[in-house]
Amino acid sequence: MTNETPIFEAKNIVKEYSGHRALDSVSIKVPKQSIFGLLGPNGAGKTSLIRIINQITAPDSGEILINGKPLKREHISQIGYLPEERGLYKKMKIGEQAVYLARLKGMPKKEAKQELMLWFKKFEIDTWWNKTVDELSKGMAQKIQFITTVVHRPKLLILDEPFSGFDPINTNLVKSEILKLRDEGATIILSTHNMESVEEICDNIALINNSKKILGGKVSEIKKQFSEDKYIIEFKGTGVAFANAVWGGWEMINNEQIGEQHASATIKLTGGTKLNDFLKGIINAVEILSVQKVIPSMNEIFIRCVEQSLKMEESAVTNENTIQNG
Amino acid sequence: MTILGPILLVGFLVGAIWLGQQEEKDLEILVLDDTYVLSNTLMQSEKYHLTSSQDEGIENIDDGKTFLKERDKYDIFLYLPANIVSGNASVAKLFYKDAPSSNVQRHLENIIDGSIERLRIKELDISNEDYARLKNKVQLHTIDVISNEEKNVGMRAGVGFIFGLMIYMFIFMYGIQVMKGVIEEKSNRIVEVIVSSVKPFELMMGKIIGIMFVGLTQFVIWVMLSLALTTVLSLTVFPDMMNPENVAQTNQIEQVAVGLTVEPVNSDITETSKEFQDLIFNQIPWGLMIGLFIFYFIGGYLLYGSLMAAVGAAVDSETDTQQFILPITAPLIFGYIVAAMAIDNPNSLAVEWCSQIPFTSPIVMLVRVSMGAEGLGWAIVLSMSLLIATFIGTTWVAGRIYRTGILMYGKKASYKEMFKWLRHK
């Protein structure tokens, strides 16, 4: 991360709803012109945070900074928001309501119309201008909503589950539009359960569970942090020869015979064994074809972190109980 | 609906008048007179053709009934028993095939009464002049002692009631529309996008005020179109519909039936129409009434509209609104009932109180004012101030409930919970 002021920063945000703490001192930083993944299981507090960013609700304590300055109402025109629960006026003509929503964000009518037409053409829906939402399928309505979110060229885009409800083709279309928007200067906060898309397009992430941030940082760094000494080794020779070549300092996780003299093994190095030393040991027994480090998917990291924090909480509860009982 | 409404309204009105005229067809009436003295003095008229049973050779009641049943010649068979001339509460019988209207019955009663009266005049040897002096008709002219003006209290209250009724309907129709609009925005989730651009309070007020102007526009179009249509129709299709002579016709019939009209009939009609004109042009304080009408119209709507918006925000769908709607509509309906009562008794305690209580004053106050605004100055000012204060209060409360409610999904709010929302930061 550079030392440049982040476009968005949340500092120690706390939000409570009638006794229930939805956000517990959550802090995130989103660098300019990046895609930020806001991850977490359902009910973790993502929507609460997003609503605070959109000034729909105010935090009980904590601070939100946009370009280093406190968040104010005049920032509204710089923010675009696509909520998870989509909705449009069902009986109103699509073009009209798109213009209306753009004007709410401070766009002049004429400009809004022109820009919208461009977007409608890009999404190949320019013939829908005078239709009503009732006449459209769910996926079609999603497109309209995506357009109304980005038409006023917001500097900060908040997309809550932007890919849900799209078929693979349109998912790609939206994905490439998001990347294009970033390249053009926008910063995007993406809340999603779709871990594949996180790996594909996110630069940074924050993982929120049970109203606390439990993980955050650059995607590449997090992956490195979570990768263990696991390797997939493909070789010519038999599994038995491979297994007997080196004694100790590693364990076999998986072993697969591909052909008669062709196999692949997934191993984990233990006790500080260096990969080089291990390879030296087996190089005489089998012919190594390839060696590849196993990098955990975001999906694995997500599940591992959430489960871990769950266990920690459970033990905390047990401790509390023990103290009370004792 | 904007254009269609008044067309339908005027259409129904014209249709009703047309049907009313259709009903008055000529009637053939067979009369069996057992008194032998009445039938010669029964008055004939244009629409009621009386034929003595002797002309048909009918002697008794059963023959008359059979004749009516089996022949198409007569619509009604009237039987006057012999004792009809003796008592004061005499009974005659009317046999029919198609039930006669109350108009027909009244007319025949008048004819028979007239005959009996004439018979008795002769018996008592009273001259027509003396009889005319006996017949007296007093009219009470009500005069306000403060302004020293003559006023028609009943009709004036009626005008006030019509104003109140319009406000009542407006609040009901458009208040519900506010609620539906809020529910729609909430249930299709567009509200979340919109409140990320404007404050919830702004959105709520925009909705309430927007619908108010829709309502006012619709209302003005209705009034203008209705007036235009009735004027056009009364000038072309029904030239005599609006004629006061027609209005007064029923009274006239009674006098004609007696057949002893001494005064010219017209004096009464001109009196009525003059009174009506006086009411319309001189007695109703139009400037004040219309000014107050607009004020209470808007004030009442804002009060109820904001509450309706709060209800819309507190529920997930229209089916959940019942328990919240009732406490809101109850005072509205109560106000309507008090306003209706005020026509008969405009100075009752209930009217006085309800014209002050902001939840009923928009409907009740105008009835009170229509009776004369003199001496009401402080009451009007107090009522208006209370209304303003209350709608500011309800709007504030509604804004709080709305702000939290629109983002709450999946659970129906209770009163307790809504009270909690009021105190949220």
A176 touches chain B (CB under 8 A): no
Min Cα–Cα distance to chain A from B183, Å: 12
Nearest residue of B to residue A51, measured between CA atoms = B196
pLDDT score of B341 more than 60: yes
What is the pLDDT, as a whole number, of residue B272? 57
Average predicted confidence (pLDDT) for chain A: 86
Q: Do B190 and A87 touch (CB under 8 A)?
A: yes
Q: What does the block give as tokens for A50?
A: 């997003």
What is the pLDDT, as a whole number, of residue A103? 92
Confidence of residue B248 (pLDDT cuts 50, 70, 90): very low
Min Cα–Cα distance to chain B from A203, Å: 26
Q: In this structure, which amino acid lies at residue B217?
A: T
Q: Do A89 and B420 touch (CB under 8 A)?
A: no
A268: nearest Cα among A282, A254, A258: A254
For residues B270-289, give the mean pLDDT: 65
Average predicted confidence (pLDDT) for chain B: 79
What is the pLDDT, as a whole number, of residue B255? 47
**In chain B, pLDDT over 70 holds for what percent of residues?**
81
What is the pLDDT, as a whole number, of residue B135? 77
What is the pLDDT, as a whole number, of residue B159? 81
B287: nearest Cα among B373, B171, B376: B373
Min Cα–Cα distance to chain B from A6, Å: 22
Q: Do A83 and B197 touch (CB under 8 A)?
A: no
Nearest residue of A to residue B203, measured between CA atoms = A104
What is the pLDDT, as a whole number, of residue B305? 93
Distance CA A76, CA A49 (A): 16
Distance CA B152, CA A55 (A): 60
pLDDT score of A99 more than 60: yes
What is the pLDDT, as a whole number, of residue B151? 62
Restricting to A residues 30-89, those with a Cβ less than 8 Å away from any Cβ of B are 51, 54-58, 60, 73, 76, 79, 81, 83, 85-89
* B135 or A115, which is more confident: A115
Return the SS3 of A115. helix
Q: Do B193 and A58 touch (CB under 8 A)?
A: no
Q: What is the DSSP letter of A6?
A: P
Nearest residue of A to residue B181, measured between CA atoms = A89
B192 touches chain A (CB under 8 A): yes
Task: Give the pTM.
Answer: 0.72
B420 touches chain A (CB under 8 A): yes
Distance CA B193, CA B201 (A): 15
Q: Is A28 in contact with A9 (CB distance < 8 Å)? A: yes
What is the pLDDT, as a whole number, of residue B146? 66
In chain B, residues with a C-beta closer than 8 Å to the C-beta of A60 are 425
Distance CA B56, CA B59 (A): 9
Q: Is A258 in contact with A236 (CB distance < 8 Å)? A: no
* B141 or A218, which is more confident: A218
**B184, B189, B407 member nearest A56 (Cβ):** B407
Confidence of residue B250 (pLDDT cuts 50, 70, 90): very low
The secondary structure of A148-192 as a DSSP string is HHHTT--SEEEEESTTTT--HHHHHHHHHHHHHHHHTT-EEEEE-
* A135 or B309, which is more confident: B309
For residues A268-293, give the mean pLDDT: 87
Q: In what order do the strands lie in the sheet with A35-39?
A: A79-82, A156-160, A187-191, A35-39, A204-209, A212-218
Distance CA B52, CA B29 (A): 9
What is the pLDDT, as a whole number, of residue B264? 41
B71 touches chain A (CB under 8 A): no
A98: nearest Cα among B344, B46, B71, B193: B193
For residues B52-72, give the mean pLDDT: 83
Distance CA B53, CA B60 (A): 9
Distance spanning both ends of chain B, measured CA to CA: 42
Confidence of residue A108 (pLDDT cuts 50, 70, 90): very high
What is the pLDDT, as a whole number, of residue B141? 74
Q: Do B193 and A101 touch (CB under 8 A)?
A: yes
A12 touches chain B (CB under 8 A): no
What is the pLDDT, as a whole number, of residue B206? 93
Min Cα–Cα distance to chain B from A212, Å: 22
What is the pLDDT, as a whole number, of residue B22? 63
Residue A31 has phi, psi (to 5 degrees) of: -70, 155
Point out the least confidently predicted range of A22-31, B116-125, B266-275: B266-275
